[in-house]
């Protein structure tokens, strides 16, 4: 399988690193409007995951690493990229700019066979969460939204807790600050996002409920908010669920412990260790249920789930690439 990455932000650059060791998958091209020498620098040195442990050399518009040659483009419009000549099977659309069907189809028009977004796309793009409903993929699907990191965490919690019965659920996601915030106070359409990210705890608007409404028959019974906190990596989902019947802490924890030991092992982990956010850096799971923090009052359940918003999410994108190979 030959893949290309469009958009070399946090997710695109981490995928670059991780794709180098994927059997049966060859990264043949990347595209971003930043100067290529700046891209090489950011690929070599990462403040979260450390220096690249491979030799990366730039020659003209080509990146040489581990015996591979990867073309580097600076094209703002994907329709002007020649994916066909590079025989690109799947484009990883990581720019955040082409998440509508019309936008993603520009890659198909340029010769790519399929497109995998790095976010939740428009409603006319299938929303398929790995480990939940990836089996709905068929050969006719050309563009897939794998959801976002918060959706991947939340989906599995709702699905597993539905075995008891959910009346309502509220997701409060404490999330590290991102590039969509600011380092110092400045103007922003969402006023709070314009405040200095490393200086405050900042509530921000998210569209998680819209995604979950597409996956579960719980419309009108879900709510979500996100609070950005002054750390550079990691997230904690604080979920309050109102159940249809009385439950107890042991019963709830048993559901997630069993899932983590069986079919969900690759996407869900369970722990009772006293973790902090630094402990999940580099964790490949979509969520790590912290059973030590589960609490129950009557029909109300409080759950805490950790996730590395970058490493866990890129792990699911890699899962998707391997899964999609059999359809090409």
Tokens 């807790």 map to which residue?
Answer: 161
| DSSP per residue, 119-147 | S---TTS-B--TTTTGGG--TT--EEB--
Question: Which residues, at least 6 apart from 250, have a Cβ–Cβ distance to it below 8 Å?
Answer: none
CA 249 to each of CA 166, 219, 299, 300: distance values in angstroms, whole numbers, following the listed order? 16, 26, 11, 10
Give the C-alpha separation, 117 to 95, whole Å: 9
CA 131 to each of CA 143, 207, 273, 288: distance values in angstroms, whole numbers, following the listed order? 18, 21, 25, 14
Catalytic amino acids? 149
CA 311 to each of CA 108, 234, 264, 287: distance values in angstroms, whole numbers, following the listed order? 27, 9, 17, 11
164 DSSP assignment = T
CA 328 to each of CA 23, 85, 141, 142: distance values in angstroms, whole numbers, following the listed order? 16, 17, 11, 10
Tokens 């469009």 map to which residue?
Answer: 6
Tokens 């009052």 map to which residue?
Answer: 297
Give the C-alpha separation, 8 to 33, whole Å: 9
CA dihedral sign, ordered 122, 128, 132, 138 = positive
Closest by CA to 118, choosing from 321, 263, 277, is 321
The phi, psi pair for 306, rounded to 5°, reads -95, 155
Tokens of 148: 């976002």
E strand intervals along 22-122: 26-31, 56-59, 62-65, 68-73, 90-93, 114-117
């Amino acid at each position: 399988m030959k893949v290309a990455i469009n958009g070399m932000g946090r997710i695109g650059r981490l995928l670059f690193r991780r794709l180098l060791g994927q059997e049966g998958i060859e990264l043949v091209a990347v595209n971003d409007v930043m100067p290529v020498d700046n891209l090489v620098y950011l690929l070599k040195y990462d403040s979260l995951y450390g220096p690249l442990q491979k030799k990366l050399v730039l020659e003209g518009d080509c990146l040489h690493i581990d015996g591979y040659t990867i073309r580097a483009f600076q094209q703002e419009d994907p329709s002007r990229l020649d994916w066909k000549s590079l025989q690109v099977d799947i484009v990883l659309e990581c720019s955040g700019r082409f998440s509508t069907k019309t936008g993603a189809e520009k890659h198909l028009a340029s010769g790519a066979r399929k497109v995998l977004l790095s976010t939740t796309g428009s409603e006319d793009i299938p929303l398929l969460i790995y480990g939940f409903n990836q089996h709905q993929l068929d050969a006719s699907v050309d563009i897939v939204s794998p959801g976002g990191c918060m959706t991947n965490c939340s989906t599995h919690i709702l699905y597993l807790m539905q075995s008891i019965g959910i009346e309502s659920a509220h997701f409060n996601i404490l999330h590290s600050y991102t590039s969509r915030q600011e380092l110092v106070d400045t103007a922003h359409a969402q006023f709070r996002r314009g405040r200095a990210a490393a200086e405050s705890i900042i509530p921000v608007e998210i569209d998680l409920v819209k995604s979950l409404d597409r996956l579960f028959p719980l419309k009108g019974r879900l709510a979500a908010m996100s609070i950005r906190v002054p750390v550079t990596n990691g997230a904690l989902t604080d979920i309050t669920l109102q159940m249809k019947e009385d439950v107890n802490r042991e019963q709830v924890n048993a559901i997630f412990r069993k899932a983590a030991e069986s079919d969900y092992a690759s996407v869900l982990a369970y722990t009772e260790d006293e973790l902090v956010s630094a402990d999940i850096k580099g964790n490949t799971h979509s969520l790590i249920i912290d059973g030590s923090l589960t609490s129950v009052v009557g029909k109300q359940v409080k759950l805490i789930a950790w996730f590395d918003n970058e490493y866990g999410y890129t792990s699911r994108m890699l899962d998707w690439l391997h899964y999609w190979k059999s359809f090409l």
